[in-house]
Amino acid sequence: MKKSKVLILHESENTKIALEELGLHLLQDYSFDFLNIIDYLRVDSKQYDFIIVDSYNDYIFEYFKNKTNRIIVTVNIMKEERPSDYIKRGAENFILKPYSIKEIRLILDKLKETLSIKEEAEENKLKFYTLLDNIPYMAWFKNKNSEYMIVNNEFKEHCGKDFETIRGRDDQFVWDGMIGENCRQYDLKVMTERKQLIFDEIIPGKKGYKQFNIYKVPVVDGRDNILGTMGIARDITDLKNKDVKFDILLENMPFAVFTKNRKGEIIQSNSTFYKLTNINEMSHLILREEDFLGKKYCESIAIEDKDVIYNKNNINLVRSLRTSLGERILEVFKSPIIDISGEVIGIICTMRDVTEVKSQEARIKRMAYTDSLTGLANRRGLYNYVETNLTSKDADATIMFMDLDNFKYLNDNYGHQHGDEILIEFGEDLQRICECGFVSRIGGDEFVIVWEGKMGRETATEIAEKILNLLNGKKMKFSKLSASIGIVTGNTGEETIDNFLTKGDLALYKAKDQGKNQYVFYNRDLDKKRCLNEEIEQDLRNALDREELELYYQPQYTCSNELIGLEALLRWNNDKYRKVPIIEIINIMEKSVLIDEIGKFITRSAFSFAKKINENREDKIIVSVNISAIQIMKHNFVRSMKKIISEIDVDPSCVGIEITETVLLQNINENILKIKELKDIGVKISLDDFGTGYSSFSYLVKIPLTNIKIDKSFIWGMKDSEEYRTLVKLCIDTAHALNLKVVAEGVETTEDLCLLKYMKADYIQGYLFSRPLPKKEIEEMIL
């Protein structure tokens, strides 16, 4: 046990010696320190539990005034001193002198016990007030006159007054005359009958009108005397309003609501419920759910209610209800009603009439799965059909993926309304031809037909040819159209619809690459080709950084062997793809975004070379680059070309672009404006592969050209065919009639050269004069 520390302030050492001789060390519950009284200012009173002052001194007592209850003053009876002499000065504790061990122990033990009792009382008082101020109810103590002596924070907040204002005042004053006399009567009843009283009372205050449940008890002392009353008031406003609020809420719900007990008996409902069910409120003493839904629902209702009650689950379901307005679709929601003990005491149910909503949802679903133009299924509808009807049972399937060739040309030249009419009619014809298949339009001019089961090759071929013959037949609307078709078979449990479409797409584009207006069956080689193309595309992305791309230049000469131009041709120095034709690599570039970056590289490199070789040269050598459809279709094509010319500072008359008729026809009117803008600044414009496109001669007048390039297939055909010679001569004469120069491509023999000279071709390009050469060799030849 910790010892209590006692400091003895003495006037002389004799006092210290006398006390030690008395045997202070025998008081084992205490430890004693001695200090001369003149050094009292050095004392840290916090270190000591008690201080004995051997001789009273007003200065000492003033210094320790905050600890007077722990100071013991010595009264020397030998000097006729009396305790009363010091009481009026504030002293509380005394010890007689001369000292005795017994008296010292008695005084210290008594003082220690008194202080302990006081500390415990203070601690209990603190606990009481802490508890009082932290309960969520108003609490108070009144004396016998019903005057408030103690109140808690909750009380002060509601009445809006502080404790100093409240203390000693009655209810009439505290509650501003709103209540008072009743409270006094309740207090008297509690004190007279000496028993608790519980009642409800509305007490207006700063928090508004609040209803309280009040509990009052008499306060009795140890002698059984009544001291007053103590009360607690619990705010039950929300509880009292709860039933009213629930009734109001229930009645104002825009849908039917009812509650039922655990037996399934409906005990409360709103007016919407009776309107919906057509039930007379007064016609049933006991009403159950099956009474208005029908007896057929008895079993399912019992199962549902059991789940709600015993598992405390919420249930959401859809039911139909026969009413005077016909059959209605109801969305029913059931939830348990749980009391404060956690027990389910009933079920609350809502019934919302969703007939119109469900009808609208069905319409929206049809719209979501249907192409608005043709009425066929759209892409989402296709996926839904496959997943619902095929994938769910791992069924085999045959899919035809097709699109209409040249449909954009038809749209651009005849208008979108005409195009829409064709799509509608074509969709109807497809449904007729493919009556056992699921026909969908998944976008633009793309159609997909699905059959359950693996269709034989012969049957699939017959259907595909019927579709092609439809477009090649007598219908005028289809006269300028053809189709490319990809056919694939497989199992929907093993492959996703996306895989089917990817394979169908590969077969379709193979059909396009082979000349369009045909069908191709998917095979694994197409996948290998796709993988190779993806690999090429990936490596092309790094080719510029690795400096693997360079330009070769094929010279163009006059028939008298005078160099007049160079065509820039891309080469990829990568051993991995040395066997892949450069035209295939360019096709891959054009199908990706790489054509933008690599196209700029080609143009910049070629135009920079044109500037270099034409410096200080009187007879200019034209360096031309090939332009793809992707490049010219960019809205900023002309601006980009002009920017490159400006940045390189090359003379526009030293550069040219070569563009095919097929590219021009992608959007002919806009493209003509673009190339005219370039020609106006001096850029040479060549029509490449002339004679292989559509109605070529009819466009020559419209297009602002510098020259035309006759396709090599015509040149190669001249040696064996009079017809080819006639066509070449016609091309040259027509071009000259329009003041256009002619470049003959693919000239490889002296015989071809002689014929072309005779036909008065202007320029020659081909292996007879030169293969494409790297830049270094061209420089050695020119510079």
CATH number of the domain located at residue range(s) 370-522 in this protein: 3.30.70.270
Residue 627 CA to residue 657 CA, distance in Å, equals: 7
What mean pLDDT, rounded, does the chain reach?
86
Residue 568 CA to residue 583 CA, distance in Å, equals: 14
CA 276, distance to chain mean position in Å, is 40
SS3 letters across 490-523: EECCCCCHHHHHHHHHHHHHHHHHCCCCEEEECC
Tell me the pTM.
0.47
Band of pLDDT at residue 771, cut at 50, 70 and 90:
very high
What are the tokens at 304? 């549902």
Overall fold of domain 135-235: Beta-Lactamase (3.30.450)
The pLDDT score that the predictor gives to residue 112 is 85
Band of pLDDT at residue 693, cut at 50, 70 and 90:
low
What are the tokens at 310? 């015993």
Average pLDDT over residues 340-355: 87
pLDDT above 90: residue 637? yes
Q: How many CB atoms lie under 10 A from the CB of residue 566? A: 28
Average pLDDT over residues 363-369: 81
Name which of 230, 232, 228 is nearest 213 in CA terms: 232
What are the tokens at 594? 């790489």
For the stretch 661-682, pLDDT in tens is: 777 777 778 888 999 999 999 9
For the stretch 137-188, pLDDT in tens is: 999 999 999 999 999 999 999 999 999 999 999 999 998 888 877 888 999 9
pLDDT above 50: residue 695? no
For the stretch 12-62, pLDDT in tens is: 888 888 887 787 877 888 888 888 888 888 888 888 888 888 877 777 777
Q: Which CATH class is domain 4-122?
A: alpha beta
Percent of the chain with pLDDT over 90: 38
∠ CA 494-495-500, rounded to 5° = 150
DSSP code at position 265: B
Average pLDDT over residues 599-614: 95
CA 381, distance to chain mean position in Å, is 26
CATH number of the domain located at residue range(s) 256-263+282-358 in this protein: 3.30.450.20
Q: How many CB atoms lie under 10 A from the CB of residue 684? A: 22
Q: What are the residue ranges spanned by the domains of the chain? A: 4-122, 135-235, 256-263+282-358, 370-522, 537-782
The count of residues in the chain is 783
pLDDT above 80: residue 592? no
The pLDDT score that the predictor gives to residue 749 is 93
pLDDT above 60: residue 696? no
For the stretch 482-511, pLDDT in tens is: 899 999 999 988 888 888 888 888 888 888
The pLDDT score that the predictor gives to residue 227 is 92
Question: How many helices and strands (H and E) does the chain possess?
Answer: 30, 29
Band of pLDDT at residue 77, cut at 50, 70 and 90:
low
CA 120, distance to chain mean position in Å, is 61
What are the tokens at 462? 């017959």
**Is 449 within 8 Å of 432 (Cβ atoms)?**
no
pLDDT above 80: residue 79? no
**Is 396 within 8 Å of 491 (Cβ atoms)?**
yes
Same CATH topology for 135-235 and 256-263+282-358: the answer is yes
CA 317, distance to chain mean position in Å, is 29
∠ CA 545-550-553, rounded to 5° = 165
What are the tokens at 520? 């191709």
Average pLDDT over residues 419-448: 91
pLDDT above 80: residue 199? yes
Q: Which CATH class is domain 537-782?
A: alpha beta
Percent of the chain with pLDDT over 70: 95
Average pLDDT over residues 88-101: 78
- Tracing tokens 């990817």 back to the chain, one arrives at 502
Average pLDDT over residues 219-239: 89
